A and B are shown apart, each in its own frame.
Chain A
Amino acid sequence: MDKFLQNPIVQWIEYRLPIFSFMNHSIVVYPTPRNLNYWWNFGSLAGIALTIQIVTGIVLAFHYTPQADLAFASVEHIMRNVNYGWLLRYVHANGGSMFFIVVFIHLFRGMYYGSYKAPREILWMLGVVILLMMMATAFMGYVLPWGQMSYWGATVITNMFTAFPIVGDWLTTLLWGGFVVDNPTLNRFFSLHYLLPFMIVGVVVVQLWGLHVHKPTNPLGIGMKGPQDSLPFHPYYTFKDMFGLGVFLLVFAWLVFFAPNLLGEADNYIPANPLVTPPHIVPEWYFLPFYAILRAIPDKLMGVIGMFGATLILFLLPWLDTCKVRSAKFRPFFKMAFWLFVADVLILGWVGKNSPEGMFIIIGRVASVYYFAHFLVILPLLGKFEPTRPLPESIGKPVLKGGGEMASGAVAAKMEKS
């Protein structure tokens, strides 16, 4: 790197736009906690998944027609006529699912290790903003093929806005640009589906900026106290991220090449018909837990509020969890609560997949109540009463024998300075 910066052309650019030292600072020598485990791969994976979606999406838009009479046929045209169109579409459709898998794991990692705690509350909230934008993007993208599930999914989701008193009907008509979901709706959804990912990129950039201020947390949840606690980002984490990327791509490739329609609904290969609703409407898998909450509440407005509230409550998480200890490693009861919460979300997803009949109604209601209780009752109580385990002195101490050679003597003096 030093040799590279000596190059006169590099120096010429560097003097005018210090991009090389910026890159060196933020992705090469950037001090990163030495103890990050593989759960910390999912941030960069999310960025890669977003990139894959944008690249394949731009290419698909070369061939897609956002017009109600032509949309379905143009998707079939992509599948049958366009060179590698089947590949691009399957990568884009399954890429959405992969993006959600990665982001959900990223989110649960943040919950487990208390990544949302001071001074990273805004980072966490930006993440929730990204999640909301992703949901909107995914929903509108799912409408574009204009199959039966697209059409009726769009109808059901947009009808939620009718639940709002007074302005509901007006708002829904405004969203539709008509009296039902129709061509104007498709046009605007296409426009916004293309726009939102670039807005997500903007929020990601802000999030990375924030991340670089206080650095990532780590499995121990204690700050870096000196150079013995960190490693340069390159090559240690660049290669760790690349290895994770390889695993991610293996799963992704399996999905695309061997089970491209596994996560889709067969009904979406029937062209949209505004006069016939399919017998069993289900959203994409990543919306199932929220869908279960919507159906669990036997009141239209409260159901919609519950569903949106399930995501919006994440904004309050940094203040609902009052415990000063970040990592679940040192919080035995929080650890249990966390896994119960994960199980609860999975149960909600399972309930969302099934018809709201018989036992599923009961299970859905209990799981929905527990979902909110986790945030509003369990976390505040744990923050007050949970006995936490003692934290290690530093990140380096458990890995470097007896605090490590570096931790003693000269480096210890350095630590005090920093």
Chain B
Amino acid sequence: MADSTSVAERSDAHGEDGTRRDFLYLATGAMTAIGAAAVAWPLIENMNPSADVLALSSIEFDMSPVEVGQSVTVAWRGKPVFVRHRTPEEIAEANAVDISTLRDPQADSDRAEKPEWLVMVGICTHLGCIPLGQKSGDPKGDFNGWFCPCHGSHYDSSGRIRVGPAPRNLEVPGYEYLSDTLIKIG
């Protein structure tokens, strides 16, 4: 082994050993990473909504008792959903706005499938407070819609942000009409 003639052989063998060792290191490292990810996954995923929470993710709501000009708040996934039976004036106001001047441009027709019924999640898009304007005595803001008392966001009669820190319009949840006045939210 130690004599000079075998030097070439040894370096060859060494080269091969190096490759094999590199492979083993990489394979070990890769398996360790996969194992760590497999362990981490359930430890994180368990924090997501559980089956019983997801089972409550859609509700049905009968809108027939809601009079024109009246608002009702229903709970969906623990969140308040505003259902407003809008007056013709409110619908006209909502349609009269030049959409290009809005912070979050959206036509009223894109927000309410049937113009007289506005359905949206009653959570301010700023930091999650519930805007005022559901009850008759509430301040409705400068645009005859909703006003968030936390940081002063004004929403119009279509629930679109007009003034204040909120970045987006009040969210319209996915919903469908099961009949003329029965909707399924979620």
Contacts and interface: CB of A to CB of B under 8 A. Distances in A.
Nearest 7 A/B pairs, CB to CB:
A84-B42, A81-B50, A81-B51, A81-B52, A82-B50, A83-B45, A83-B46
A80 B51 contact: yes
Contacts of A80: 51
Interface string B145-183: 000000000000000000000000000000000000000
Given A84-B41, A84-B42, 16 more contacts: A55-B43, A56-B43, A63-B46, A77-B50, A77-B52, A81-B50, A81-B52, A82-B51, A83-B42, A84-B45, A84-B46, A85-B46, A85-B50, A88-B42, A88-B43, A88-B46
Interface string B47-67: 110111100000000000000
Main secondary structure of the interface of A (DSSP, over half): helix
A385 interface: no
B46 A62 contact: yes
Interface string A253-296: 00000000000000000000000000000000000000000000
Contacts of B42: 83-84, 87-88
Interface string B91-121: 0000000000000000000000000000000
B46 A82 contact: yes
A59 interface: yes
13 contacts: A55-B43, A59-B43, A59-B46, A63-B46, A77-B52, A80-B51, A81-B52, A83-B46, A84-B42, A84-B45, A85-B46, A85-B50, A88-B42
Contacts, number: 34
Interface of A: 55-56, 59, 62-63, 77, 80-85, 87-88
A87 B45 CA distance: 12
Contacts of A81: 50-53
Nearest to B32: A242
| Contact residues on B (Cβ < 8 Å of other chain), bracket | 10 to 19
A63 B42 CA distance: 14
A55 B36 CA distance: 14
Nearest to B28: A242
Contacts of A84: 41-42, 45-46
Nearest to B35: A249
B48 to A, nearest CB: 6
Contacts of B43: 55-56, 59, 88
B53 to A, nearest CB: 8
Contacts of A87: 42
B38 to A, nearest CB: 11
Contacts of A88: 42-43, 46
The interface centre, meaning the residue of B42, B45, B51, B52 with most chain A CB atoms within 10 A of its CB, is B42
Among B41, B46, B48, B53, the most chain A Cβ lie within 10 Å of the Cβ of B46
Interface in B4-61: 41-43, 45-48, 50-53
Contacts of A77: 50, 52
Contacts of B51: 80-83
B172 to A, nearest CB: 29
A59 B52 CA distance: 18
Contacts of A63: 46, 50
Contacts of B53: 81
Most chain B CB atoms below 10 A, which of A55, A77, A82: A82
A330 B50 CA distance: 59
Nearest to B51: A81
Contacts of A83: 42, 45-46, 48, 50-51
